[in-house]
Structure 1
Amino acid sequence: MSTFRHPGLAEPRNKEEWRRYRDSRAPEQPAMPPYKEYLKLSDDDKDDLNEDRDNYHSALAIIDTFQVKRLHYLMERRMKANARRAAGARAGLVFDGPPTVGKSTLVKLFAARYERRLRRKHPERFQDGYESNGMVIDYTPVVYLSIPARATPKDLSVLLADYLGMVQRGRDTQTDITNHVLSVLSDVGTELVIIDDVHFLDMSAKEGRVVNDHLKYIANETAATFVYTGVDLEKSGLFLEGQAASRATQTSGRNTRYPVRKFGCKTAQEKLEWAETVKALEDTLVLYRHRPGQLVKLCSYFYDRTDGSICALTDLFRESAIEAVTSGEEAITRKLMDRIEISEYAQATYRKVVQQRRQKAAAGSKVAAS
């Protein structure tokens, strides 16, 4: 199972921040002296090494799970299908699923890898002074936009303009900005546009439907593949228009919806995929008393703690590894993890699991006693 690492960064709001994300790399794995030598280090040297380990564990690995590989393949296939398509709206993709399943991470990861591949194949496009169609352009193959709550059509165009670094005039109308954005997207060679957090569009309100229409217009007029992510989009107005629930929108007619799910833990295949993910994370640990494979044995516990959420799982690994270094325990154990609290949703789910098991055990005891 391959991994890809990058340091934690804020959500990109413009092309410069996107490029920092694209080019970011996680800290190198610290060199670990033998444990006896580690204990003899001065306080300062030991503190420096522990800080390096904390930074390394904080970055953690992004795991190429089966789901990530599948969805990346579908994104690449769709982009290839759109590459030389005739003028007009391209077919896009919609990734829909509950929170904390890694939707935003998987699309950003694909986009970063895609752009780095372009840089390898066409380094000249990324040089200062690159000319295309007789113009010097700042080649921008990827646009990433996170939708804010209560966005208006003009807000959306302004966000795109800001991302592209366009100079705007105070008297520009929504149409002026949108037309300029469309021209720049074409000029700078944009091939992939990611619209994240589409669920923030309130489709029950007139403003939300207007923004949805504006999104469709931009997608129709852009020679790029659009990818949308959000929560519970199948039931939202993103795929419906007008008052009739059966009336499909252009969004549903031109885009393919793919569900992004939490890990399961019922079938043999689901358990295998979960165990592989736990092992891939375990293999990144730099702890003196960690024994390879000891955490794979706790797969059921990890599932109970996280409810199959990849975000909750990585949070639990990060904090547990840092706790193991800080406390001097140098290994992640169930006892240590019981001290770690992650998201409220994960904690509440775990409490429910524990309570159900206690009730089941109590019921079993009563049956045995009778």
Structure 2
Amino acid sequence: MTAPSGATLDDAVPSRKEGWIALADAIARTPPDRLDMTALGRLSEQARADYDRQRRIWHANIGPLRTPQMADIHEDLWDILDSNAHDGDKVKGAAAIDAFPGLGKTTIALTFAREFHRREVAAFGRYTADGHEHLPVCRVGLGANTTIKALNQAILTFYGHPSAGRYSSSTTAQLAAQALDCIVSCRTRLVVVDDVHFLDVRSRDGLEVSNHLKWLANEFPVTFLFVGVSLRERGLMSEGMTSSEQAMAQTARRWTRLTLHPFRIADDTSRAAWRALLLGIERNLVLARLQPGVVADELSGYLFARTTGHIGSLMTLINRGAQRAVRRGEETLSVELLDTVKIDEGAENARAPLQAALDSGRLTPQARSLRAPAHAGS
């Protein structure tokens, strides 16, 4: 994406309205021209430096790619948000994207929020009837040991309200009322709360914040979208209650839990989805020696073993590999080059058994239609 005039995306912070608007309004980036080695060699030193800088930025920002996982969750989110168009006296259901790290849950949430922001601005304009900024989306992130006051201040920080400062004399109740005023005045309809897993509902502060989120969902005319890791296991779906009480937990009745899974290659359908993802990545790489099929076919099994099908690990490996390929002048991706690139510990630790299964033929990344035909008599 490219920032609108007067804004830059490299320092845009989505937890503040200016940063969020820059991200939401950004237009799609245009990739650098794909030059061959001869054309690269003709560039002057300055032109080559500029070209490589463009490629650094491009490769660092590939995507977001519309995966089947993203499409499915977006469909569910549109159902939830559009069905919440009832009057303000009715409690609106919330959504929670609950998945392990590295599966793209934050990207999926923010991509959806961006689409919603654009739809609402297109329908109602950039200002409300009262002359306030129209901000369809508010995005906040939770930190460790978040308190009710800190949560309210995070909401106010997004809107740039003066009471957001750490030395504000406003009480917790006053901060909540001010947050509601901002949401109503700016016609906000979606509040994204990221890193909800930082809440420990078995601690006093964590349970109080969880209850406060429930109160906000009851009182504010918005849909809440919560994003986090292992929310059910952490008790956030049951409000920390005992097993006999969980069935009646109000949060569990009002939160729709949406989950994400890594890519798999257990059957032809999942293999086709994996290959489609790699093809999308391959089309976005601007490397002079990269040939069609290298990423999607030749490196398919290797990339699956290296990343265990986690899109976060995959995009990190591709980005870092492309940067190294440009710096070294190799201008393509290969097993030898990618083996020198380090990524997250979780992916590295899980690599060996997957590689063994691929090497033995017990697992294959290729769908039947793409496999080489068997020799006669075999």
| Deviation by residue 1:109-161 (Cα, 9 ceiling, x = unmatched) | 11111112223333xx31xxx452xx321211101111111101111111111
- Distance of 2:306 and 2:221 partners within structure 1: 44
In 2 relative to 1, CA 53–359 (structure 1 residues): closer, same or farther, beyond 3 Å? closer
The corresponding residue for 1:343 is 344
Alignment of 1:31-110 (within 5 A): 31-85=33-87, 87-110=89-112
- Distance of 1:81 and 1:16 partners within structure 2: 29
Which stretches in structure 2 are left out of the alignment for 5+ residues?
4-8, 363-378
1:152 aligns with 2:108: no
Give yes or no for contact 1:195–1:228 (8 Å, CA) kept in 2.
Answer: yes
- Distance of 2:106 and 2:260 partners within structure 1: 11
Residue 170 of structure 1 and its aligned partner are, at CA, apart by 2.9
Residue 359 of structure 1 and its aligned partner are, at CA, apart by 11
In 2 relative to 1, CA 79–359 (structure 1 residues): closer, same or farther, beyond 3 Å? closer
| Count of equivalent residues | 351
SS in 2 for 1:226: strand
- Distance of 1:166 and 1:73 partners within structure 2: 33
| Deviation by residue 1:81-111 (Cα, 9 ceiling, x = unmatched) | 0113451320111111101111111010111
- Distance of 1:72 and 1:8 partners within structure 2: 26
- Distance of 2:356 and 2:172 partners within structure 1: 55
Percent pairwise identity: 28
- Distance of 2:88 and 2:359 partners within structure 1: 62
1:204 aligns with 2:202: yes
Quick one: which amino acid aligns to residue 137 of structure 1?
A: H
Give yes or no for contact 2:201–2:239 (8 Å, CA) kept in 1.
Answer: no
Residue 27 of structure 1 and its aligned partner are, at CA, apart by 4.1
Give the TM-score normalised by structure 2: 0.87
The corresponding residue for 1:228 is 226
- Distance of 1:12 and 1:241 partners within structure 2: 28
Which stretches in structure 1 are left out of the alignment for 5+ residues?
362-370
In 2 relative to 1, CA 29–243 (structure 1 residues): closer, same or farther, beyond 3 Å? closer
Residue 62 of structure 1 and its aligned partner are, at CA, apart by 1.1
Give yes or no for contact 1:15–1:165 (8 Å, CA) kept in 2.
Answer: yes
Give yes or no for contact 2:74–2:112 (8 Å, CA) kept in 1.
Answer: yes
The corresponding residue for 2:274 is 274
- Distance of 1:73 and 1:107 partners within structure 2: 12
The corresponding residue for 1:320 is 321
In 2 relative to 1, CA 243–116 (structure 1 residues): closer, same or farther, beyond 3 Å? closer
Give yes or no for contact 1:27–1:55 (8 Å, CA) kept in 2.
Answer: no
In 2 relative to 1, CA 38–171 (structure 1 residues): closer, same or farther, beyond 3 Å? closer
Residue 352 of structure 1 and its aligned partner are, at CA, apart by 5.0
In 2 relative to 1, CA 274–153 (structure 1 residues): closer, same or farther, beyond 3 Å? same
SS in 1 for 2:162: coil
- Distance of 1:10 and 1:245 partners within structure 2: 43
The corresponding residue for 2:157 is 162
Quick one: which amino acid aligns to residue 322 of structure 2?
A: A
